[in-house]
């Protein structure tokens, strides 16, 4: 028996489980997206591309896509920037580093629903800590269409920044101190040392963190569902929330599956783009 055939035999059980848990459900959702399927009314007939044609002109869908893009772009950019800054601060900290890391892990370890409920109390118009910090003003952070999405982004940044921080901090610890000493001898310090040593070495890890956080943000559901439910007036309704409402609240299985397929395709395109950038970075390194 050749090594190639043995490898496939050993991989067969894992591939079978993976196919049953991922490939089959994905194909079934794709099949549902081509049908009118409303089980509560016993409706089941072929729809073809009708759902996708409707989504192409659906203003609610495009609003949800816009909200998803803004939420993803702003939250991921803030998380990566703050995460790298916090990692640099931790590297330069000589005392209390373990306590700081423990606090970071606490924020990251909290379930998203718990984080959402905590921020719901923080944003409370009457007794919330946020309003107390801004001078006791009565601001309805989650009920104002102009403030709800920034409030969600702030909650997600607080929850996910430690993930980026820990990845960058772990990479910073592996950079030899000799590099900085040699750079200092050559007259490169501060921003020059960061630009010529720190940034090129930490950039691959930051790209990996960027990939994971982007995919998570595109698929985010729990934090906005708990805090706002997609409101007010659709200001925080993302594609995942829209799909949930179609699938489980109106029981339009075919239409909701079509939204899910679009979200899956969008996530895959983003993932492939990121992987292409990462591979290109590795080739040029």
Q: Is the pLDDT of residue 1 over 70?
A: no
What are the backbone dihedrals phi and psi of residue 46, each rounded to the nearest 5 degrees, phi first? -75, 135
Asked if the structure places residue 280 within a domain, the reply is yes
Is 262 in a helix, a strand, or coil? Answer: helix
In contact, 239 and 263? CB cutoff 8 Å: yes
Confidence bin at 54 (pLDDT 50/70/90): very high
What's the confidence (pLDDT) of residue 63? Answer: 94
pLDDT 10s digits, 77-119: 999 999 999 998 888 777 778 888 888 888 888 888 889 999 9
Band the pLDDT of 285: cuts 50, 70, 90. low
Give the pLDDT confidence score for residue 160 in this predicted structure.
92
Q: Give residue-wise pLDDT tens across range 203-254.
A: 888 988 998 999 999 988 989 999 998 888 889 999 999 999 988 888 888 9
Domain that includes residue 274, residue range: 33-284
Distance (Å, whole) CA 141 – CA 129? 12
What local confidence, expressed as pLDDT, does residue 191 receive? 78
Q: Could you tell me which residue, 257 or 192, shows the higher pLDDT?
A: 257
User: Both tokens of residue 255?
Assistant: 């239409």
Residue 22 lies inside a defined structural domain of this protein: no
Of 228, 224, 214, 200, whose CA–CA distance to 285 is shortest?
200
pLDDT digits (tens, 9 = 90+) for 5-29: 888 888 888 888 887 888 888 888 8
d(Cα 189, Cα 179) in Å, to the nearest integer? 11
Residue 284 confidence (pLDDT): 67
Tell me, rounded to whole angstroms, the distance of Cα 134 from its chain centroid.
29
End-to-end CA distance of the chain: 39
Estimate the crossing angle of helix 253-284 against helix 24-32, to 10 degrees. 130
The phi and psi torsions of 74 (rounded to 5 degrees) equal -70, -45
pLDDT (average), residues 161-170: 91
Assessment of whether the complete model's pTM goes beyond 0.85: yes
Domain count, the chain: 1
Position 12 in a domain: no
Residue 270 has pLDDT above 70, yes or no: yes
Q: How far is CA 232 from the centre of its chain?
A: 22
Report if residue 142 sits inside a domain: yes
Structure tokens at 117: 């409920």
Residue 13 lies in a domain: no
Query: Looking at the domain assignment, is residue 5 inside a domain?
Result: no
Name the residue among 51, 12, 11, 57 with its Cα closest to residue 29: 51
CATH number at residue 215: 1.10.3720.10
Answer whether residue 14 is part of any domain.
Answer: no
Model pLDDT for residues 124-135, shown as the tens digit of each residue? 888 888 888 887
- Cα distances (angstroms) measured from residue 62 to each of 70, 73, 165: 12, 16, 33
Mean pLDDT on 157-176: 90
| Dihedral of the alpha carbons of 96, 99, 105, 109, in degrees to the nearest 10 | -160
């Amino acid at each position: 028996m050749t090594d190639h055939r043995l490898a496939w035999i050993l991989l067969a059980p894992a591939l079978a489980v993976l196919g049953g848990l991922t490939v089959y459900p994905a194909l079934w959702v794709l099949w549902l997206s081509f049908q009118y399927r409303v089980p509560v009314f016993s409706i089941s007939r072929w729809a073809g591309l009708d759902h996708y044609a409707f989504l192409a002109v659906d203003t609610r869908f495009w609003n949800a896509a816009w909200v998803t893009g803004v939420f993803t772009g702003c939250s991921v950019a803030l998380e990566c920037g703050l995460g790298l800054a916090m990692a640099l601060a931790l590297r330069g900290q000589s005392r209390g580093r373990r306590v700081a890391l423990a606090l970071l892990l606490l924020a990251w370890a909290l379930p998203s629903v718990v984080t959402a409920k905590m921020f719901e109390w923080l944003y409370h118009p009457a007794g919330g800590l946020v309003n107390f910090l801004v001078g006791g003003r009565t601001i309805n952070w989650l009920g104002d269409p102009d403030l709800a999405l920034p409030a969600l982004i702030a909650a997600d940044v607080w929850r996910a920044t430690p993930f980026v921080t820990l990845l960058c901090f772990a990479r910073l610890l592996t950079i030899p101190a000799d590099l900085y000493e040699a750079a200092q001898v050559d007259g490169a310090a501060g921003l020059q040392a960061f630009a010529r040593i720190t940034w090129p070495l930490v950039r691959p890890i930051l790209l990996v963190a960027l990939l994971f956080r982007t995919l998570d943000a595109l698929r985010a559901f729990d934090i906005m569902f708990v805090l706002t439910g997609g409101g007010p007036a659709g200001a925080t309704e993302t594609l995942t929330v829209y799909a949930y409402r179609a699938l489980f609240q109106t029981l339009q299985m075919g239409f909701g599956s079509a939204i899910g397929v679009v979200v899956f395709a969008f996530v895959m395109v983003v993932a492939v783009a990121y992987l292409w950038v990462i591979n290109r970075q590795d080739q040029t390194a």
